[in-house]
């Protein structure tokens, strides 16, 4: 079908004499494609750079005014406030408060990054460095060789200010130099694969011993006891020793009540200390945003703070106690089983997975025991357990039909939203209907025709990851890695449509894309539409978009505006000074690797796709990646909590990198087909290379073949692997100090440590649901540290910040 379509497109293109006028009109009288001096690039570059300086100035102001935004929360994350007051966590405070340290953050080595930010940050930054190296090589080849070749053509006007002379459109159809472009596209594909293999070969994954010895079992009888699970494995598998079997329970509400209870206790403690200092009771308005209300109205009367928080604490304690007593009555039919060594774990995993074929028994039952029937082992789904810090324990109760229905509804709503509002061209279209942009056609001002459209496109592409992230969050994935992978793949797909494909084809939304794709006159008009991809000013539009992403996009990443807005909203909703303090201490979030990978790979794909047809884009793409690397390095080190993910998200990003040169081959294939026809040698060569590449990629992804041609070359080391920081895992833990890493909910571990009630039931646990926000730490820090001490610590931080 594809060769027939391309042949038809090529024949139609050859018969069409002037597609340029149609392409301009096909943009629904959008002002993006106009004949501006050098495509408006110099003007857009100057404006974006000035915006970049203005945003940096705003960042320096916000750093002073809102200095505690997210940073105080980092202090209270893994290290208790007590240890922060003493010498053993001086580096933690230095990380957060030293202004001078922000100057040399780019000199932090991988050991320091791994220690402070986790192994995933090391993989992410290494990935960026290899992309930068790749763009350096591609930039030298594109600017040093391809650009002069494009200049040598004489198809377009001989004007020094003509952007079209730098593009492939300046070469005549029969020019033998077009072979150079095709060869370079294939060379870029090889360079990309080599760069990613080099990156993955340096990323030594240290598999945690606990993870390799633990299996996650789903489909267990709901009321199965841990002793019975142990007995089954020890009877069925000789020489098998089960160290721990923890059934899972629904602890979502218990975790919520525990977090609220601790907030109420902190509120009471805060106002108790305040009253002991001032000897005056404090009155508060307990309604949301109550501290912003300047008048007393019915229903918003003020109450005494200590009395209010005492009653609230007592109520929450009773609810918490009742819920904890009912946890044993809410089994989920899941369990985490830890064995004594990796070998027996692998044998059991293989046994259960070999005996299953798409859910149907085909090779007999797993090894039986006296407990097999009561445990329903024929219904078990067995897999390696994720890291305890990687699990959303509160989401484990959302499963089966409910999870799939929830996921379906969320994604249908997301698709409908993006179906009609995919690109900012739809806004321009609406404006044109009311003749708002009529004067623009006569002004032909690059500020209007290039700067604002690219800025608008960047704004939409910046909003998209946030929308997709929240859609993935509300899907209630069981692991952080799963949530990040879903965000990455959905974001990348929508961004490629929004930023690259639809604007290139002159379409304003997916709605028009499908109407065009399935139009009865598709084969007659598609060639003209595809010809729009190779108009000179179209390349200028994407150059301007990359410039906007480099300067405005990276500056906005440094400001972290979405997080700042959320911080302000939470402060406004706080009911008292105690709750505002609590907001400040719990505002740090994990770095969203999924959204970051997707957005970065979108810009990289745009750069690689146009690196041959419009080589001037590559230097600006390199500038984007350099600034992106510096900004992300700063944010990872100073602004975000460490994350604990698996390697699948990083390998998924590698797959997206390989997609970029494949799209570049597609672009050249379309260009060659439009200009010379599908049967031309250059078209046939590009088509054969493209088909072979796609077949190899599909065979590798789907069936695991051609591993020696793959971009993946990961090395996995065991617990004793050389070269790895042995003490790394302690930084990744979010729980209170002193608690061992277990497959049990943090709220239940707290119960065990505090001796609160009976022994906690087996579960699996970590942190409350706050969009990967930091956990609620223990109410009272060790060593007798009080809230007053924390205030003095906070004051010292401010003083240190000002003096430096």
Return the H-helix or E-strand segment holding 331.
strand 331-339
Q: HSE-up of 259 (CA within 13 Å, CB side)? A: 20
Predicted pLDDT of residue 613: 86
**131 within a domain of the structure (yes/no):** yes
Residues 175 and 235 in one domain: no
Residue 725 has pLDDT above 80, yes or no: no
Residues 492 and 620 in one domain: yes
H helix intervals, 203-341:
209-212, 226-236, 252-278, 305-326
pLDDT, one tens digit per residue, over 283-338 is 887 777 766 666 566 666 778 888 888 999 999 999 999 998 888 888 888 899 99
Confidence band of 59 (pLDDT split at 50, 70, 90):
confident
**193 within a domain of the structure (yes/no):** no
**What sign does the CA torsion over 376, 382, 388, 390 have?**
negative
Residues 246 and 286 in one domain: no
User: How many secondary structure helices (H) and strands (E) does the chain include?
Assistant: 36, 10
What tokens does 645 get? 């993910």
Taking residues 60-89, report their average pLDDT.
52
What tokens does 756 get? 């609160």
Predicted pLDDT of residue 299: 62
Three-class secondary structure of residue 523 per DSSP:
helix
> How far are the Cα atoms of 121, 424, 457, 512, 563 from residue 460, in angstroms, in the given order?
27, 7, 5, 18, 18
**648 within a domain of the structure (yes/no):** yes
Max avg pLDDT among 107-116, 339-348, 615-624, 786-795: 615-624
Taking residues 697-713, report their average pLDDT.
64
Looking at 652, 676, 700, the residue that finishes a domain is 676
**392 within a domain of the structure (yes/no):** no
Confidence band of 1 (pLDDT split at 50, 70, 90):
very low
For 755, residues 6+ apart whose C-beta sits below 8 A from its C-beta are: none
What are the backbone angles phi and psi of residue 243, rounded to the nearest 5°?
-75, -35
The whole-model pTM stands at: 0.77
**What sign does the CA torsion over 766, 771, 772, 774 have?**
negative
Q: Are 114 and 121 in contact (CB under 8 A)?
A: yes
Predicted pLDDT of residue 531: 55
Three-class secondary structure of residue 99 per DSSP:
coil
Confidence band of 107 (pLDDT split at 50, 70, 90):
very low
Three-class secondary structure of residue 218 per DSSP:
strand
Taking residues 255-278, report their average pLDDT.
88
Predicted pLDDT of residue 198: 87
Residues 227 and 257 in one domain: no
Residues 145 and 16 in one domain: yes
**Bridge partners of 589?**
773
Residue the block writes with tokens 């009109």: 25
Q: Are 79 and 585 in contact (CB under 8 A)?
A: no
* CA 753 – CA 61 distance, rounded (Å): 44
* CA 733 – CA 736 distance, rounded (Å): 8
Residues 315 and 221 in one domain: no
Residues 515 and 440 in one domain: yes
pLDDT, one tens digit per residue, over 446-496 is 555 556 666 666 676 677 777 888 888 888 888 888 888 888 888 888 888
Predicted pLDDT of residue 710: 57
Taking residues 593-616, report their average pLDDT.
90
229 vs 156, more confident: 229
Q: Environment class of residue 720 by beta-carbon count within 10 Å: exposed (0-12), middle (13-18) or buried (19+)?
A: exposed
* CA 369 – CA 380 distance, rounded (Å): 14
Taking residues 438-442, report their average pLDDT.
47
Residue the block writes with tokens 């709901």: 222
Q: Are 395 and 483 in contact (CB under 8 A)?
A: no
* CA 120 – CA 647 distance, rounded (Å): 8
Residues 319 and 348 in one domain: no
pLDDT, one tens digit per residue, over 369-422 is 888 888 888 888 888 888 888 888 888 888 888 889 988 998 888 887 776 655
Residues 446 and 517 in one domain: yes
Residues 14 and 31 in one domain: yes
Predicted pLDDT of residue 630: 92
**531 within a domain of the structure (yes/no):** yes
* CA 212 – CA 342 distance, rounded (Å): 6
**792 within a domain of the structure (yes/no):** no
Predicted pLDDT of residue 470: 82
For 368, residues 6+ apart whose C-beta sits below 8 A from its C-beta are: 236, 377
User: % helix / strand / coil in the chain, to the nearest 5?
Assistant: 65, 5, 30
Predicted pLDDT of residue 102: 43
Q: Tell me the Ramachandran region of residue 718: left when phi exceeds 0, alpha when psi lies from -120 to 50, beta otherwise.
A: beta
Taking residues 418-432, report their average pLDDT.
53
DSSP line for 63-74: HHHTTTTTHHHH
Q: Beta strand pairing status for 715-717 and 204-206?
A: parallel
Residues 348 and 280 in one domain: no
CB atoms within 10 A of CB 436: 11
- Count up the domains in the chain and report the number: 3
Taking residues 536-554, report their average pLDDT.
81
For 79, residues 6+ apart whose C-beta sits below 8 A from its C-beta are: 89, 92, 737
Q: Are 725 and 701 in contact (CB under 8 A)?
A: no
Looking at 326, 356, 371, the residue that finishes a domain is 326
Taking residues 615-638, report their average pLDDT.
91
pLDDT, one tens digit per residue, over 171-218 is 777 777 788 888 898 899 999 989 988 888 877 766 677 888 899 998
State in Å, rounded, how far the first CA of the chain is from the last one.
66
**707 within a domain of the structure (yes/no):** no
Range of the domain at 293: 253-326
pLDDT, one tens digit per residue, over 15-37 is 444 544 444 444 433 334 344 56
Residue 497 has pLDDT above 70, yes or no: yes
Residues 456 and 508 in one domain: yes
Buried b (16+ CB within 10 A) or exposed e, 527-557: bbbbbbbbbbbbbbbbbbbbbbbbbbbbbbb
Residue 759 has pLDDT above 60, yes or no: no
CB atoms within 10 A of CB 107: 8
CB atoms within 10 A of CB 40: 29
Percentage of the chain modeled with pLDDT above 90? 9
Predicted pLDDT of residue 188: 92
CATH value at residue 224 = 3.30.70.330
**22 within a domain of the structure (yes/no):** yes
Q: Beta strand pairing status for 331-339 and 242-249?
A: antiparallel
Predicted pLDDT of residue 673: 81
Taking residues 603-616, report their average pLDDT.
90
Q: Are 10 and 678 in contact (CB under 8 A)?
A: yes
Residue 624 has pLDDT above 90, yes or no: yes
For 351, residues 6+ apart whose C-beta sits below 8 A from its C-beta are: 366, 367
Residue the block writes with tokens 């000789």: 238
Looking at 306, 326, 346, the residue that finishes a domain is 326
């Amino acid at each position: 079908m594809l060769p027939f379509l391309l042949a038809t497109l090529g024949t139609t293109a050859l018969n069409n004499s002037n597609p340029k006028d149609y392409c301009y009109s096909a943009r629904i009288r959008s002002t993006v494609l106009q004949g501006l001096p050098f495509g408006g690039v110099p003007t857009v570059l100057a404006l974006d750079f000035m915006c970049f300086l203005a945003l940096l100035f705003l960042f320096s102001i916000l750093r002073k005014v809102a200095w505690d935004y997210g940073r105080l929360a980092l202090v209270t994350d893994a290290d208790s406030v007590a240890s922060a007051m003493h010498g053993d966590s001086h580096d933690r405070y230095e990380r957060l408060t030293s202004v001078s340290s922000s100057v040399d953050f780019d000199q932090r080595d991988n050991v320091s990054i791994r220690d402070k930010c986790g192994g995933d940050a090391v993989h992410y930054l290494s990935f960026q460095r290899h992309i930068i190296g790749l763009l350096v090589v591609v930039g030298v080849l594109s600017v040093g060789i391809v650009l002069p070749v494009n200049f040598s053509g004489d198809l377009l006007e001989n004007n020094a200010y003509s952007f079209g002379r730098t593009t492939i459109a300046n070469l005549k159809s029969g020019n033998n130099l077009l072979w150079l472009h095709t060869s370079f596209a294939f060379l870029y594909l090889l360079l990309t694969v080599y760069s990613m293999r080099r990156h993955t070969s340096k990323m030594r994954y240290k598999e945690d011993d606990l993870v390799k010895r633990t299996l996650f079992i789903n489909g267990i009888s709901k009321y199965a006891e841990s002793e019975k699970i142990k007995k089954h494995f020890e009877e069925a598998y000789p020489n098998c020793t089960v160290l721990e079997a923890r059934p899972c329970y629904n602890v979502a509400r218990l975790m919520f009540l525990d977090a609220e209870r601790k907030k109420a206790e902190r509120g009471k403690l805060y106002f108790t200390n305040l009253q002991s200092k001032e000897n005056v009771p404090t009155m508060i308005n307990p309604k949301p945003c109550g501290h912003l209300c300047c008048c007393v109205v019915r229903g918003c009367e003020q109450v005494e703070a200590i009395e209010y928080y005492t009653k609230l604490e007592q109520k929450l304690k009773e609810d918490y106690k009742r819920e904890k007593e009912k946890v044993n009555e809410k089994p989920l039919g899941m369990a985490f089983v830890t064995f004594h060594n990796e070998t027996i774990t692998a044998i059991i995993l293989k046994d259960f997975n070999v005996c299953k074929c798409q859910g149907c028994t085909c090779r007999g039952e797993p090894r039986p025991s006296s407990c097999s029937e009561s445990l329903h082992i024929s219904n078990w789904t067995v897999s390696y357990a994720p890291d305890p810090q990687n699990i959303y324990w509160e989401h484990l109760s959302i499963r089966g039909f409910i999870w799939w229905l929830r996921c379906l509804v969320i994604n249908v709503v997301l698709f409908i939203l993006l179906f009609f509002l995919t690109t900012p061209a739809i806004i321009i279209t609406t404006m044109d209907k009311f003749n708002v942009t009529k004067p623009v056609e006569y002004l032909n001002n690059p500020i209007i025709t290039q700067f604002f459209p690219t800025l608008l496109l960047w704004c939409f592409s910046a909003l998209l990851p946030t929308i997709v992230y929240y859609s993935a969050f509300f899907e209630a994935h069981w692991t952080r890695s799963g949530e990040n992978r879903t965000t990455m793949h959905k974001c990348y797909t929508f961004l490629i449509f929004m930023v690259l494909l639809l604007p290139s084809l002159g379409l304003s939304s997916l709605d028009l894309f499908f109407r065009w794709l399935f139009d009865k006159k598709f084969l007659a008009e598609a060639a003209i539409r595809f010809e729009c991809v190779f108009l000179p000013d179209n390349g200028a539009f994407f150059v301007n978009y990359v410039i906007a992403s480099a300067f405005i996009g990276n500056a906005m990443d440094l400001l972290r505006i979405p997080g700042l807005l959320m911080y302000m909203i939470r402060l406004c909703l706080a009911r008292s000074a105690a709750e505002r303090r609590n907001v400040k201490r719990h505002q740090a979030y994990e770095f969203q690797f999924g959204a970051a990978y997707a957005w970065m790979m979108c810009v990289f794909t745009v750069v690689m796709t146009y690196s041959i047809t419009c080589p001037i884009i590559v230097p600006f793409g390199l500038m984007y990646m350099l600034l992106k690397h510096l900004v992300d390095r700063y944010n990872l080190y100073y602004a975000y909590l460490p994350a604990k993910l698996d390697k699948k998200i990083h390998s998924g990003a590698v797959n997206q990198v390989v997609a970029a040169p494949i799209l570049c081959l597609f672009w050249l294939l379309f260009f060659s087909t439009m200009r010379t026809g599908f049967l031309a040698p250059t078209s046939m060569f590009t088509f054969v290379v493209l088909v072979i590449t796609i077949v190899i990629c599909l065979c590798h992804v789907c069936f695991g073949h051609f591993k020696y041609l793959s971009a993946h070359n990961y090395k996995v080391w065991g617990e004793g692997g050389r070269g790895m920081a042995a003490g790394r895992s302690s930084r990744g833990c979010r729980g209170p100090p002193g608690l061992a890493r277990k497959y049990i909910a943090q709220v239940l571990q707290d119960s065990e440590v505090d001796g609160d009630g009976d022994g906690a039931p087996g579960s699996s646990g970590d942190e409350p649901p706050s969009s990967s926000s930091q956990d609620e730490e223990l109410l009272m820090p060790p060593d007798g540290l009080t809230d007053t001490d924390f205030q003095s610590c906070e004051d010292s931080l401010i003083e240190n910040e000002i003096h430096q």
